[in-house]
Amino acid sequence: MNVRIQGEEQVKILKLLSIMVLMVLVHGVSALSITVSPEQIERGDQVIISVIGLPDNSTFSMQIEGTFAATPGGPFSFETRNLVLPFALNDGSLSATLRNTDTNILIVKKGDTEVKKVGLSQNGFFSTTDSGSIPAGMYDSISLGGTAAADATSIVASVTLQGRKSGPINSEISFVVDGVTEGRVSITIWVDGGIALSRTIQIGNPVTVTPTWTYSGGGGGGGSTTVSGITATTTMTTVPTTVQTSPATTAPTVAETATPTGAAITAEVATTPEQQVPTSPAPIGSPLPACLVPLGIALVILVCALKRR
């Protein structure tokens, strides 16, 4: 009789622990939710990214990439205005990549602070990165411009913000797309190395943009870019040519390179192709393993209960 009772108790314990494990797994999968709307916009429309359940110290990376038609050798502009970043990205970086271009200009404005980078493309490719913490708040403008390559019929321009997240667990990121009337904007978000969101939003009427890469070389894809192309990196050396100073009024946007209003740094950027690497981080994991801790505890309890029998 005692053996039968012990067996029934073990079955009850197993059922209870199974329910606990299932609840832990369901919670771990559904804890993080990142969505974006709308599915189609016009120039000047707002894009909203809803972030639910993003814990502090998560590695967060967001890439905004525009693909649009261009006139060979003509000017172009792709801009995100009024970008609201509800949380800070500590120990991070802000980078920009442009393809099928000749000259390139990156301008970041936040309040009284402006950062400007100028450079020439190498075989139609340009890339620049600034390291430092990215504070929360509204960025008036992050714009990418310049002139298209002589044989280019389209431009691919992207900006990526990344770092360790610090701020509210639930929030909204928003920005307005400007400078482009037709094309598409792709938004990719990585959390702890895993892709949490990959969405392409149409700008204006549906069109087919076929890039004509001017870069010659092998490539392997990287990230979730919807237009396949080159994957090369460059080493940037910056030599300031003119510096004007005035009293600073606000904290810099990016620690190493920001300057207050009236203090504009114009730099010539020399690019040198190096070993080919993906242009955006590849998935190396996901937030799910964090939920395995309660699962391990439940299994320990099960083992202890069985030993007592």
Residue 285 lies in a domain: no
Phi/psi class of residue 185: alpha, beta or left (left: φ > 0; alpha: ψ in -120 to 50)? beta
pLDDT tens-digit profile, the chain (309 residues): 555 556 666 656 666 666 665 555 544 444 899 999 999 999 999 999 999 999 999 999 999 999 999 999 999 999 999 999 999 999 999 999 999 999 999 999 999 999 999 999 999 999 999 999 999 999 999 999 999 999 999 999 999 999 999 999 999 999 999 999 999 999 999 999 999 999 999 999 865 544 544 433 444 433 333 333 333 333 333 334 333 333 433 334 333 344 444 333 334 434 434 433 333 333 334 444 445 556 667 666 766 666 665
Does residue 286 fall inside a structural domain? Answer: no
Residue 113 is assigned to a structural domain of this protein = yes
**Same-domain pairing of 273 and 226:** yes
Does pTM surpass 0.75? Answer: no
Looking at the fold, whether 41 and 21 belong to one and the same domain comes out as no
CA neighbor of 229 nearest in space, from 217, 239, 245, 237: 217
State how far the Cα of 199 lies from the Cα of 194, in Å rounded to an integer: 15
Instruction: Count CA atoms within 13 Å of residue 267 on its CB side.
Output: 18
Range of the domain at 10: 2-27+292-308
Could you tell me which residues come within 8 angstroms of residue 208 by beta carbon, excluding any fewer than 6 positions away?
Answer: none
71: DSSP letter: -
* DSSP secondary structure string for all residues of 247-290: ---S--SSTTT-EETT---EEEEEEEE-S---SSPPP---SGGG
Residues 21 and 76 in one domain: no
Residue 179 shares a structural domain with residue 303:
no
Question: How big is the chain, counted in residues?
Answer: 309
Query: Are β-strands 75-85 and 183-191 bridged in parallel, bridged antiparallel, or unpaired?
Result: unpaired
On whether residue 287 sits in a domain, the answer given is no
Domain count within the chain:
2
Same domain, yes or no, for 297 and 271? Answer: no
Residue 153 lies in a domain: yes
Examine the domain organization and report whether 127 and 151 are in the same domain: yes
